[in-house]
A and B are shown apart, each in its own frame.
Chain A
Amino acid sequence: MKTTSFRLALTGLATGLVLATAAVSARAAEGGPKPPQQKWSFSGPLGTFDRAQLQRGFKVVKEVCANCHAMNLGNAVRMRNLSQPGGPEFTPGQVAALAATYQVTDGPNDQGEMFQRPGRPADTFPAPFPNEQAARAANGGAYPPDLSVLAKARTYERGFPKFIFDIFTQYQEQGPDYIVALLNGYTKPPEGMTLLPGQNFNTYMPGHLIAMPQPLQDGQVEYPKGPDGKPQVPETIHQYAEDVAAFLVWMAEPHMEARKRLGFQVMIFLAIFAGLLYYTKKKIWARMPDGSPAH
């Protein structure tokens, strides 16, 4: 009897494992290439954003991405966020000057009319298109997604057992890795594949067909110069892509630094508290009320 049930248990476990492995290999085959993992300053328990990188990323977003992509989903992101701690940390003066370069629709005024005024830090970034239909009409029917939380809204399948390891390695940069891969993933379509007008081939886009044409070129955006008169980082597609992705991560999770910092304090406190409780518990359990020993 015992052997029967034991065998049953083993069969159950074995079936599970076999299926799991089969499943993983099947998905790995169908899913296309995985985005390569980049090195991020903000990964890991002590990660912080690189201010200069966020500022560069914002420059690329402002000059390139924002021509088609809005950043005002639910009015969540405001220009004032650019000067708050833990972000690109532009000065409030820089943000006010930046905001004033935008014309913002306000109103209605006393005559009941909407009017234009210079932007303020408390405003959202004006969207490139008034609504989704206008955005689609201008982009061949495709809607450029809002960038506000995009870095958290994009991912790729990690698969078993990687996703278990991710708990311990704290790998959670699927979003920015995917964005970098996508921005660098434009290639010629494979032989025999013809693209319709408005379609582009991208290695990392699910299904490979993407409406967005390759947005970045080497040297397209001018980066701040160092003391030697040369840009401090290369003005390449890859560098642009990393900077944009870093900026998008911050925009999607603006309190990440505060979260990790507070987390560190909380974890240390809990470890000490748990230690104290453990010894207190041992002390208490060393004496039973009737004098007999505990286990």
Chain B
Amino acid sequence: MSGHSSYVPKTGIERWLDARLPIVRLAHDTAVSYPVPRNLNYLWTFGGILAFMLAAQIVTGIILAMHYTPHATLAFASVEHIMRDVNFGWLLRYLHSNGASMFFVAVYVHIFRGIYYGSYKAPREVLWILGVVIFLLMMATAFMGYVLPWGQMSFWGATVITNLFSALPVIGETIVTFLWGGYSVDNPTLNRFFSLHYLLPFMIAGVVVLHIWALHVVGQNNPTGVEVKNVQKDTVPFTPYATIKDIFGMVCFIFVFSYFVFYQPNFMGHADNYIPANPAVTPSHIVPEWYFLPFYAILRAIPDKLGGVLAMGSAIVVLAFLPWIDTSKVKSMSYRPIARQLFWAFLAVCIGLGYLGAMPAEGGYVTASQIFTVLYFGFFVALALVGIFEKPRPLPSSIADSVLANIKGASGVQLATAAAEPNVKG
């Protein structure tokens, strides 16, 4: 909420700076006094987790770039050099490669949370679209990063994905040649992918700033989907309430992240990527990283080159139109009995598509992919229709009311202590 700033500069230096560059005020308003709905659940900590993951990926990535060589004959060797000779190189590289996966884990939780609680609805459409832009940039960054070790999966992933553009009529072939910088995926391709892989995270960071700005203009959604009516009653200040909760969520997430880094560092990778790129041999079963699998399944479901590419593109782009596809006035699916069932079905369809994306493109898998692709897009159609006739459950009148309803029966002692010390900020 862009209300009045509660920042009061205390010292002379703070006042001097505040009159010239109110940066402390900005930090105070965004990270300290910013009012947060008091009923947010732990799914809301994933925004902070994503910010942390972006920072962690940038830090480990910059360090890896100090030791990595973007050249077709040296890239694989330089990665092995990092793994063996550089001090803590194995740790930094595993943090970065598993970090990409964990980044997507977090972003998918974040996206599905947004869908379930209707976080895309007015007035948060721009916030949501910026999120879809970030998601697209993340996909591009992750894809190019996966090419850099120049293993078999890197090479053939790059070949397959860049060839998607050849499906475009007339200009397709030219675009692909320009992407490659040659007549096949080769050293020029690797070089430019490295350059772009370094650039894109900073573009993501830029859009994240816009995303957070938009968030702070419209305020956070919450599990009830009811907007904040009384800042005093419905919200708590970001610090310490949201800060401590976000940090706790973040550390739990880092726990899982560390488990993979230290104990299962190659679980989410492919063994074939430990074979150096070989343009003469395609691995018998090439699959993208797990986070692309649902979209890969949609691509393969359509028995037409251009059609497949368009279907895959639409599967992502359609998300940007959710604010207008969903016709219901009620945000949170907690109060929408039918939409909620649709949501879980949609989640199941996405997981099913992910599974099918990992399977070979043959026989029953193709048919299943086609059914699931229809179901995927069917969700959006159904969501548009359901909003017209669905009868939502009654909404709480305010966030504070829903919180109070939830704690009915809480002990009187707790109420008393809470009342005794109204100011927790010391």
Contacts and interface: CB of A to CB of B under 8 A. Distances in A.
Does A touch B (CB under 8 Å) in the complex? yes
Interface of A: 1-2, 5-6, 8-9, 12-13, 15-16, 19-20, 22-23, 26-27, 45, 73-77, 81, 145, 148-149, 152-155, 160, 166-167, 170, 172, 174-175, 206, 252, 254-255, 258-260, 262-264, 266-267, 270-271, 273-274, 277-278, 280-281, 284-295
Given A1-B390, A274-B255, A153 B271 contact: yes
Interface stretch (B1-9, B132-140, B402-410): B402-410
17 contacts: A13-B348, A19-B356, A73-B77, A81-B84, A160-B355, A170-B263, A170-B264, A172-B266, A263-B261, A266-B258, A267-B259, A274-B251, A280-B244, A281-B244, A287-B417, A289-B424, A295-B406
B34 interface: no
- Which of B263, B337, B423 has the largest number of chain A CB atoms within 10 A? B263
Given A166-B267, A278-B248, A16 B83 contact: no
Interface in B330-380: 337-338, 341-342, 344-345, 348-349, 351-352, 355-356, 359, 363-365, 368, 371-372, 375
A264 B262 CA distance: 8
A286 B356 CA distance: 46
B371 A290 contact: no
B170 interface: no
Contact of B400 (A15, A74, A258, A292): A292
B23 interface: no
A259 B251 CA distance: 20
A15 B252 CA distance: 34
B244 A284 contact: yes
A175 B419 contact: no
Interface in B204-226: none
A262 B271 contact: no
- Which of B76, B233, B368 has the largest number of chain A CB atoms within 10 A? B368
Contacts of B356: 19
A167 B352 contact: no
Contacts of A293: 404, 407, 410, 414-415, 418
A273 to B, nearest CB: 6
B274 interface: yes
Given A23-B364, A270-B255, A286-B414, 7 more contacts: A19-B364, A19-B365, A76-B84, A166-B267, A174-B271, A288-B422, A292-B233
B407 A295 contact: yes
Contacts of B386: 5
Interface of A is mostly: helix
Contact of A153 (B275, B352, B382): B275
B333 to A, nearest CB: 12
A27 B390 CA distance: 43
Contacts of A267: 255, 258-259, 262
Contacts of A75: 77
Closest 6 CB pairs of A and B: A263-B262, A74-B77, A9-B345, A76-B80, A16-B352, A153-B274
Given A8-B345, A286-B418, A288-B38, A172 B274 contact: no
B233 A175 contact: no
Contact of B255 (A6, A13, A175, A271): A271
A167 B272 CA distance: 20
Contacts of A206: 284
B175 interface: no
Contacts of B261: 263
B236 interface: yes
B273 to A, nearest CB: 8
Contact of A1 (B248, B254, B338, B403): B338
A277 B248 contact: yes
B262 A8 contact: no
Contact of B359 (A23, A170, A280): A23
Given A2-B338, A5-B341, A22-B364, A285 B263 contact: no
A100 B389 CA distance: 84
Contacts of B32: none
Given A152-B266, A153-B272, A289 B418 contact: no
B265 to A, nearest CB: 7
Given A153-B272, A174-B271, A259 B76 contact: no
Contacts of A2: 337-338, 341
B383 to A, nearest CB: 11
Given A73-B276, A154-B271, A284-B240, A270 B254 contact: yes
B288 interface: no
